[in-house]
A = this chain, B = another copy of it.
Amino acid sequence: MRELILDDDRIFPTEPAARAIARRIFTEIRDLPLISMHGHVEAAVLANDQPFTDPARLFVVPDHYVTRMLVSQGASLESLGVARRDGAPVETDPRAIWRMFCAGWRYFRGTPSRLWLTQQLYEIFGVTVEPSLETADQLYEQIDAKLHEPAFRPRALYQRFGLEILATTDSPLSDLAAHQVIADSEWDGLVVPTFRPDALVHINRAGWKDAVARLEAVSGVETGDYNGFLAALRQRRAFFIEHGARATDHGHATADTTPLEPADAERIYRSALNGSVSAVDAAAFAGNMLFEMAQMSADDGLVMQIHPGVVQGHDPQVAATFGPDVGFDIPLPVDFVRGLRPLLQAFGRDPHFRCVVFTIDETTYSRELAPLAGVYPAMRLGVPWWFLDAPQAMLRFREAVTETAGFYNTAGFVDDTRAFTSIPARHDVARRVDATYLAQQVAGGVLGLDEAIETAIDLTVTIPREAYPPLKG
C-alpha cells in the first residue's frame, strides 16, 4: 500500500528561491473565494441538496476525463457504468466500478485528473492511501461513510469550498426552477444560470425542430419565422437575466461569425423547419447566430463565451450508443483571425459588449488569440479549458499569451467541471500555476514581488468579478 501524498508545494518551481516566491504569492490567493463562472454542475444538486450516491457515481461514472483514460487502456464504457441509450444493461455495482478505477490509478500519472482526484480524496475525504486494487474496498467504505454525513451534502460543501458564486449551464428552454428554489430558500449560496443556446442554433442536429417548438412554448413568442425565432431567444435571455444570468456560452465547430443577409437567414431557417437543410447552410446559420448573439449581448449585457473547435462524437458508434460527453469529443484546428473578424469588426470596440474566447487549439495562442485580445477592448482570453486545463498546459498558456496580451486581457479561471467536489482542486491548481508563472517573473528580475502579488489577486478575484458583472439590480 502506497501512502497518498499531497505535497503542499506541488506544481511550484523546483528552484528554491523561485519556489519560495511562488509559495509567498500563493499564500495571498490560496484562500480567496472561488468564483466559478463556467461549469456543468446542475442547479438541482444545490436545490435538492441530497447526498451524493456513492464514490463511483461521484468520481467515475460522470467524469469523462476519468472514463476516457480507463477506456484507452481497455475498459468498456459499460463496465464503468455509463448508461446506454438503448437501455441495455451496464455495470450497476458501484463497488465494481470503483475497483476498476482504483486498479487503473497508475494510468493517471502525469495527468491533472490525478491531481484533482488526489486533492479531493485527501482534503475532502481524508484518504491517506493510494487507490489500487488492494485498497479499493477500504477506500470505498471510507468515502461512502462520509457521503452520508450532513457535512458532505452539496450546500455544506459549497460553503466549505468558499464558493462566492457558481454558474451553471442551461438550455434556453429551461424554466430555471432549480435556480428559483435556491433563490427562494433561506440558504445564501449564489447559483446563477448561463444561457447556452447550442441546441437551437445548430439547425441540422437531431431534435432541433422539437427544440424550436418548445422555445415557442416557453417564450410565448411565435417561432414560425426567423425574426420570431430571434425574438423568442431575446425573451429567454431576459428571463435568464431575471434569474441572475451573467453570461451566454456557445460551442461551435468553427469560429465563424459571418452574418447572413436577413433574407438568407430567413430562407435557411424556414428550410430547416421544413426538415431539409444542407450542411453548408447549417454551418453558415451557426456562424450567423454567433453574430446575432453578439448583437444581443451588446444590447442586454450578457457576456458571450465562445468555445469553438471540437468534433463531437469522433466515433459515431460510441455517440449513437452512449450519447455526447463520454470522452470521444476531439479538438480541431481553429481559425480565429478570419472567423471572429465579422464579430470583432462590428462589436470589438463596443463598450457594451464583452466576449471571452476559449480554445483547445493551443497553436492559436501566440499567433491569433493574444494579438486579437491585445488590441480589441471587447475581447478577453478564456484561460485554458478542457484538455489544456492542466499545470504544464496552463503554464504554456501564460508563456504564449502574456508577452502580447499581458495579464489584464485574460479572463479568470473557469473550472468547467461536472464534478462538484473537484471545484476547489481545480482552482487550487490554477492558482498554483499563476503563482508559479508570476514567481518566475519575479525571480527572473522582470517583475516586482508586490506587483506579482497584486496581479495574482487580480487574476483570482478582481478580473473574474469584472469580467462577469451582475446585470440584475
Interface residues of A (CB under 8 A from B): 2, 5, 7-18, 68-69, 71-74, 106-112, 114-115, 311, 314-318, 327-328, 330-333, 335, 337-338, 341, 344-345, 348-349, 351, 360-363, 366-368, 370-377, 379, 387-388, 390-393, 396, 398-400, 402-409, 440-441, 443-448, 450-451, 454-455
Q: Name 8 interchain pairs, CB-CB below 8 A, sorted by A.
A: A14-B15, A68-B375, A110-B441, A311-B337, A314-B372, A317-B345, A333-B335, A387-B404
Q: Are A2 and B450 in contact (CB under 8 A)?
A: yes
Q: Are A14 and B440 in contact (CB under 8 A)?
A: yes
Please name all residues of chain B whose beta carbon is closer than 8 Å to the beta carbon of A392 when the two chains form the complex.
399-400, 402-403
Known A73-B377, A109-B455; 14 more pairs at CB < 8 Å = A9-B445, A13-B14, A14-B443, A106-B455, A110-B402, A111-B403, A311-B337, A314-B341, A314-B344, A314-B372, A331-B368, A332-B337, A361-B367, A371-B387
Could you tell me if A315 and B349 are in contact, using CB atoms closer than 8 angstroms? yes
B360 and A446 within 8 A (CB): no
CA distance A367 to B366 in the complex (A): 15
| B370/A387 in contact, CB under 8 A | yes
A402 to B387, CA, bound (A): 11
A408 to chain B: which residues have CB within 8 Å?
A: 73, 106-107
On whether the beta carbons of B345 and A405 are closer than 8 Å, the reply is no
The 3 closest A-B pairs by CB, nearest first: A7-B445, A10-B445, A390-B403
Nearest-CB residue, chain B, relative to A380: B72
Residue among A2, A14, A351, A398 facing the most chain B CB atoms (10 A cut-off): A14
Give the contacting residue for A446; candidates B11, B366, B372, B375; CB below 8 A: B11
Are the C-beta atoms of A445 and B12 separated by less than 8 Å? yes
With contacts A314-B337, A345-B315 taken as known, whether A72 is within 8 angstroms of B445 at the C-beta atoms is no
Closest to A376 in B: B72
Report which residue of A318, A345, A373, A392 has the largest number of chain B beta carbons within 10 angstroms of its beta carbon.
Answer: A392
> Measured between C-beta atoms, what is the minimum distance from A188 to chain B in Å?
34
Tell me which residues across on chain B come within 8 A of A443, comparing CB atoms. 14
Residues of B within 8 Å of A316, CB to CB, are 345
A237 to B197, CA, bound (A): 52
What's the minimum C-beta distance from A392 to chain B, rounded to whole angstroms?
5
A371–B330 touching, CB < 8 Å = yes
Contacts A14-B440, A387-B404, A399-B392; is A109 near B451 (CB within 8 Å)?
yes
- Asked whether A331 lies within 8 Å of B367 as measured between CB atoms, the reply is yes
With A and B bound together, what is the CA distance between A447 and B335 in angstroms? 37
Contact indicator A328/B375 (Cβ below 8 Å)? yes
Q: Do B337 and A371 have beta carbons less than 8 Å apart?
A: no
Q: Find chain B residues with CB under 8 A from A375 CB.
A: 68, 71-72, 327-328
